[in-house]
């Protein structure tokens, strides 16, 4: 499935996307989900998280501000999502920075059936067992293309690394996405928001493959290109970016033609 079809399905079905996410970028994640055309919900109480995920069409897990209570909520929600067969997307924020993050990502990947992992180059390199430079939750270097291919192969899930060029791999096939704009990297939470869009597309498709994830990221990058026109900096870029996501979602006809997704040879 490509972007136009996914956005059309989201617009028609208004799927509920359940986010277990961090408190830094949660508002951007919620507004991004709504601009794409899906309905966001955030609920973490152990008493209700399984019941809420039972209403959802996808679960997005972002460990940006994890702690033991949060991890338990993730395991409960993820278990229920797996029982129901809805896609579970993982953003392993800060993996490699602390052992809690590295161990938690490993635990989630082993205990849950994750449809796709979306992170920055450093995080994905860490998951692939490659050297990476991570500073806190920011990735400073790393060969994203090799990282996604290796991580997808070893973890057996679809893996995406976002950056100036995004890479998506299912272990056999690797796609690159060259839509985007440098201002996206200057807004806190643009990575979290891109994973939210992946969650919305996976909700529409009822699952994840490399193609739909690449198209989710390409649509996200295309919105960044549109938003950058007229933005005077990262502050005014952010509201324009939400406008662009909403505008492209509402006028998706012909969108696929402006998305630059291509198969990486070899």
Q: How far apart are CA 243 and CA 198, in angstroms?
A: 18
107/262 with CB nearer its own copies: 107
Kindly state whether residue 100 participates in binding its own copies, applying the rule CB under 8 A: yes
Query: Do you know the residue count of the chain?
Result: 266
**Can you read off the two tokens belonging to residue 36?**
């794409």
Specify the DSSP element, H or E, that contains 120: strand 116-120
Stretch that binds its own copies, among 124-132, 142-150, 180-188, 206-214 (CB under 8 A): 180-188
For residue 262, count CB atoms less than 10 angstroms from its CB and return exposed for 0-12, middle for 13-18, buried for 19 or more.
exposed
- Work out how close the CB of 203 gets to its own copies at its nearest, in angstroms, rounded to a whole number: 12
- One of 10, 56, 86, 259 touching its own copies (CB under 8 A): 56
Instruction: State the binding string over 214-253 for its own copies (x if CB under 8 A, else -).
Output: ------------------xxxxx-xxxxxxxxxx------
Q: Which stretch binds its own copies (CB under 8 A): 40-48, 75-83, 108-116, 167-175?
A: 40-48
Q: Contact region for its own copies (CB under 8 A) — 17-25, 146-154, 171-179, 258-266?
A: 17-25
Q: Within the chain, where are the H helices?
A: 3-13, 26-36, 49-53, 68-84, 99-111, 121-127, 144-155, 190-205, 210-228, 234-250
Task: Tokens for 146, please give them.
Answer: 């090799």
Vertex 59, ends 55 and 62: CA angle to 5°? 145
Residue whose CB is less far from its own copies, 228 or 264: 228
**Tally of CB atoms within 10 A around 131:** 12
Based on CB atoms, which residue is closest to its own copies, 186 or 262?
Answer: 186
Segment interacting with its own copies, rule: CB under 8 A, options 3-11, 21-29, 82-90, 108-116: 21-29
Q: Is 54 exposed, middle or buried (0-12, 13-18, 19+ CB in 10 A)?
A: middle
Q: Does 154 bind its own copies (CB under 8 A)?
A: no
39 part of the interface to its own copies, by CB under 8 A = yes
The contact set with its own copies (CB under 8 A) reads: 14, 16, 18, 22-28, 30-31, 34-35, 39-48, 51-52, 55-56, 64-68, 94, 97-101, 135-138, 140, 186-189, 232-236, 238-247
């Amino acid at each position: 499935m490509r972007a136009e079809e996914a956005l059309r399905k989201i617009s028609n079905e208004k799927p509920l996307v359940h986010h277990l996410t961090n408190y830094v970028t949660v508002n951007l994640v919620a507004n991004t989900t709504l601009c794409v055309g899906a309905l966001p919900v955030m609920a973490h109480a152990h008493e209700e998280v399984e019941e809420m995920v039972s209403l959802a069409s996808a679960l997005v897990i972002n460990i940006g501000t994890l702690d033991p209570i949060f991890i338990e909520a993730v395991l409960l929600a993820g278990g229920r999502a797996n029982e129901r067969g809805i896609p579970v997307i993982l953003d392993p924020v800060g993996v490699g920075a602390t052992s809690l993050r590295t161990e938690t990502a490993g635990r989630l990947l082993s205990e849950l059936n994750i449809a796709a992992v979306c992170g920055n180059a450093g995080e994905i390199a860490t998951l692939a067992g490659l050297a990476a430079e991570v500073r806190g939750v920011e990735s400073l270097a790393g060969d994203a293309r090799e990282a996604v291919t290796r991580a997808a192969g070893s973890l057996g899930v679809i893996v995406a690394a976002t950056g100036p060029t995004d890479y998506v791999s299912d272990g056999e096939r690797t796609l690159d996405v060259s839509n985007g704009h440098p201002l996206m990297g200057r807004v806190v939470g643009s990575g979290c928001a891109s994973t939210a869009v992946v969650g919305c597309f996976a909700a529409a498709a009822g699952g994840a493959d490399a193609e739909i994830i690449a198209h989710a990221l390409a649509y996200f990058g295309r919105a960044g290109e549109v938003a950058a026109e007229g933005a005077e900096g990262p502050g005014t870029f952010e509201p324009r970016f939400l406008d662009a996501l909403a505008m492209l979602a509402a006028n998706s006809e012909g969108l696929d033609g402006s998305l630059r997704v291509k198969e990486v040879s070899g």
